[in-house]
A and B are shown apart, each in its own frame.
Chain A
Amino acid sequence: QVQLVQSGAEVKKPGASVTLSCKTSGYTFTQYYVQWLRQAPGQGLEWVAIINPKDGDATFARRFRDRATLTADASTSTVYLDLTNLKFDDAAIYYCARDSVAPHNPAFDYWGQGSLLTVS
């Protein structure tokens, strides 16, 4: 069965870096995008980034473009989100989700459980 399992909670100081992971299983890793969204306390959902594990091509929301990196490791079917120069408002629950490459197939159909990032 399809599963996305995310790494555990992290506590970081402002200015530090963090790596969040999303380990996938139960499907062909390179045939689906992986999306990242987050929700900060009291805030709405926010889109962070997307990666195509087939070629590693990644796109980021404008506010993350200069301090975020996405990496797809096909040997472990894992996607890594690196976020540098952390700010207080990066504190959030980060979710990864599988997304279809084909535009009319089910989108965001499987999700990770979320990774809590605290910046303090």
Chain B
Amino acid sequence: QSSVTQPPSVSGTPGQRVTISCSGRTSNVGENAVNWFQHLPGTAPKVVIYADDRRPSGVPDRFSGSKSGTSASLAINGLRSEDEADYYCGTWDDRRLGFVLGTGTKVTVL
């Protein structure tokens, strides 16, 4: 099981703000850059946030990331139907000497 935990699901209505937490350890979230992946099963994942809080070009500014200590968060403002997907945080783990993905959160747009 992953050492980085996320809530299994979050939901919101269109236009709402939702946040996804990513709780880890000093060896992973605490000391390494956190990336956030958006994934629709059967398609290639897409990074919506990298290096804790940076947004790749082409990703809407509705997506934002933050980190404090051993916890990171992804916020989606102005939720849209196309945001419905699975979201994973991911970061390097200095103790396990490998990349670790969070447990994943399903975002549902009601």
Contacts and interface: CB of A to CB of B under 8 A. Distances in A.
Contacts of B47: 106-109
Interface residues of A, number: 26
A51 to B, nearest CB: 12
Contact of A45 (B33, B51, B57, B104): B104
A61 B56 CA distance: 26
Interface string A99-120: 0000111111101111000000
22 contacts: A35-B99, A44-B101, A45-B37, A45-B45, A45-B86, A45-B88, A45-B101, A47-B90, A47-B99, A60-B98, A61-B98, A95-B45, A103-B51, A105-B51, A106-B50, A106-B54, A106-B57, A107-B50, A108-B45, A108-B50, A109-B47, A114-B43
Given A47-B90, A106-B50, A108-B47, 9 more contacts: A37-B101, A62-B98, A97-B44, A97-B45, A104-B51, A106-B54, A106-B56, A108-B37, A113-B44
Contacts of A108: 35, 37, 45, 47, 50
Nearest to A116: B42
B33 A46 contact: no
A59 B97 contact: yes
B41 A39 contact: yes
A104 B98 contact: no
Contacts of A104: 33, 51, 54
B2 to A, nearest CB: 8
